[in-house]
Amino acid sequence: MSASKSKETIAGLTKNARTVLEKRYLKRDKDGKVLETPADMFRRVADTIASADKNFDKKAVTGALADQFYQMMTGFEFLPNSPTLMNAGRELGQLSACFVLPVGDSMEEIFESVKHTALIHKSGGGTGFSFSRLRPANDVVMSTKGISSGPLSFMKVFDVATETIKQGGTRRGANMGILRVDHPDIMDFIMCKADQNQLNNFNISVGLTEAFMEAVDEDREYDIINPRNGEPCGSMNARKVFNRIVKQAWENGEPGIIFLDRLNKDNPTPAVGEIESTNPCGEQPLLPYESCNLGSINLGKMVKNGKVDWERLKEVIRLSVHFLDNVIDVNNYPLQQIADMTRSNRKIGLGVMGWADMLILLGIPYCSEEAIDLGEKVMKFINDEGHAYSRELAKTRGTFPNFKGSIFDRPGKGETRNATVTTIAPTGTISIIANASSGVEPLFAVSFVRQVMDNNKLIEINPIFDDIARKRGFYSDELMEKIAEHGTVHDLPEVPEDIQRVFVTAHDISPEYHIRMQAAFQKYTDNAVSKTVNFSNSATYEDVEQVYRLAYELECKGVTIYRDGSRDLQVLSTGKKEEKETAAPAVEEKHAVKRERPKALRGSTYQMQTGCGPLYVTINEDRNGLFELFTTMGKAGGCAASQCEAIGRMVSLAWRSGVQARQVVKQLLGISCHCPSGFGDNKVLSCADAVAKAIQARMHENGGMAELHAPSHEKGACPECGGAVEHEGGCAVCRACGYSECA
| Range 280-306 average pLDDT | 96
Q: What angle do CA 29, 33, 35 make, to 5 degrees?
A: 70
What is the dihedral sign for C-alpha 213, 215, 221, 223?
A: negative
Q: Kindly tell me if the per-residue pLDDT of 680 is higher than 80.
A: no
| Lowest-pLDDT range of 64-73, 86-95, 137-146, 657-666 | 137-146
559 forms bridges with which residues in the sheet? 257
Instruction: Pick 553 or 634 by higher pLDDT.
Output: 553
Find which of 131-145, 400-414, 727-741 is predicted with most confidence, using mean pLDDT: 400-414
Tens digit of each residue's pLDDT (9 = 90 or more) over 566-589: 764 333 334 444 433 333 333 333
The span from the CA of 593 to the CA of 22, in Å, is 52
Tens digit of each residue's pLDDT (9 = 90 or more) over 420-460: 999 999 998 899 999 999 999 999 889 877 654 444 566 78
Helix, strand, or coil here: 562?
strand
Q: At 140, phi and psi to the nearest 5?
A: -75, 140
pLDDT > 90 fraction of the chain, expressed in percent and rounded: 63
Confidence of residue 743 (pLDDT cuts 50, 70, 90): low
Non-local (6+) Cβ contacts of 608 within 8 A are: 614, 615, 616, 617, 684, 690, 691, 693, 694
Q: Kindly tell me if the per-residue pLDDT of 716 is higher than 80.
A: no
Confidence of residue 681 (pLDDT cuts 50, 70, 90): low
Helix, strand, or coil here: 571?
coil
| Lowest-pLDDT range of 203-207, 454-458, 514-518, 519-523 | 454-458
Fill in the amino acid letter for 660.
Q
pLDDT for the residue numbered 174: 87
Instruction: Pick 127 or 699 by higher pLDDT.
Output: 127
Letter string b/e over residues 406-434, b meaning 16 or more CB atoms within 10 A of that residue's CB: bebbeeeeeebbbbbbbbbbbbbbbbbbb
Q: At 613, phi and psi to the nearest 5?
A: 115, 180
pLDDT for the residue numbered 288: 97
Instruction: Pick 312 or 725 by higher pLDDT.
Output: 312
DSSP class per residue in 604-639? EEEEEEETTEEEEEEEEEETTEEEEEEEEESS-SHH
Tens digit of each residue's pLDDT (9 = 90 or more) over 12-62: 899 889 989 998 899 999 888 999 999 999 999 999 999 999 999 888 889
Active site residue 279: yes
Tens digit of each residue's pLDDT (9 = 90 or more) over 528-538: 999 999 898 88
Q: Kindly tell me if the per-residue pLDDT of 685 is higher than 70.
A: yes
Helix, strand, or coil here: 601?
coil
pLDDT for the residue numbered 491: 86
The span from the CA of 741 to the CA of 733, in Å, is 6
Average pLDDT of every residue of the chain: 88
The span from the CA of 728 to the CA of 163, in Å, is 22
pLDDT for the residue numbered 537: 85
Tens digit of each residue's pLDDT (9 = 90 or more) over 607-635: 888 878 888 999 998 887 889 999 988 65
| Range 212-235 average pLDDT | 96
pLDDT for the residue numbered 123: 86
Find which of 327-331, 650-654, 703-707 is predicted with most confidence, using mean pLDDT: 327-331
| Range 323-338 average pLDDT | 97
The span from the CA of 717 to the CA of 733, in Å, is 10
18 burial class (0-12, 13-18, 19+ CB within 10 angstroms)? middle
| Range 166-185 average pLDDT | 79
| Range 339-361 average pLDDT | 98
Within a 13 Å sphere around the CA of 149, how many CA atoms are in the beta-carbon half?
Answer: 9
pLDDT for the residue numbered 581: 36
The span from the CA of 317 to the CA of 309, in Å, is 12
Helix, strand, or coil here: 110?
helix
Rama region for 625: left / alpha / beta (φ>0; ψ in -120 to 50; rest): left
The span from the CA of 361 to the CA of 365, in Å, is 10
Taking the complete model, does pTM exceed 0.85, yes or no?
no
Q: Kindly tell me if the per-residue pLDDT of 221 is higher than 90.
A: yes
Active site residue 281: yes
CB atoms within 10 A of CB 552: 19
Instruction: Pick 741 or 86 by higher pLDDT.
Output: 86
Q: Kindly tell me if the per-residue pLDDT of 416 is higher than 60.
A: yes
Of 200, 203, 267, 279, which residue is the catalytic one? 279
- Spatial contact of 172 and 741, defined as CB atoms under 8 Å apart: yes
pLDDT for the residue numbered 578: 40
Confidence of residue 714 (pLDDT cuts 50, 70, 90): very low
Q: Kindly tell me if the per-residue pLDDT of 699 is higher than 70.
A: yes
Confidence of residue 730 (pLDDT cuts 50, 70, 90): low
535 forms bridges with which residues in the sheet? 563
Instruction: Pick 643 or 637 by higher pLDDT.
Output: 643
Distance, first Cα to last Cα, the chain: 25
pLDDT for the residue numbered 164: 83
Tens digit of each residue's pLDDT (9 = 90 or more) over 363-380: 999 999 999 999 999 999
Active site residue 556: no
The span from the CA of 660 to the CA of 470, in Å, is 49
Q: Taking each helix axis from N to C terminus, what angle separates 687-702 and 638-656, rounded to the nearest 10 degrees?
A: 40
Q: Taking each helix axis from N to C terminus, what angle separates 661-668 and 638-656, rounded to the nearest 10 degrees?
A: 150
The span from the CA of 689 to the CA of 691, in Å, is 5
280, 536, 546, 713 from 253: Cα distances, Å: 15, 12, 15, 15
Tens digit of each residue's pLDDT (9 = 90 or more) over 464-510: 999 999 999 999 989 998 888 887 898 899 999 999 999 999 989 99
What is the dihedral sign for C-alpha 606, 607, 609, 610?
A: positive
pLDDT for the residue numbered 83: 94
Of 81, 192, 200, 281, which residue is the catalytic one? 281
The answer, yes or no, to whether the previous bond of 255 is cis (omega within 30 of 0) is yes
Q: At 237, phi and psi to the nearest 5?
A: -80, 120
Of 36, 77, 276, 283, which residue is the catalytic one? 283
Q: Which of these, 168, 178, 156, 157, lies nearest to 101 by C-alpha position?
A: 178
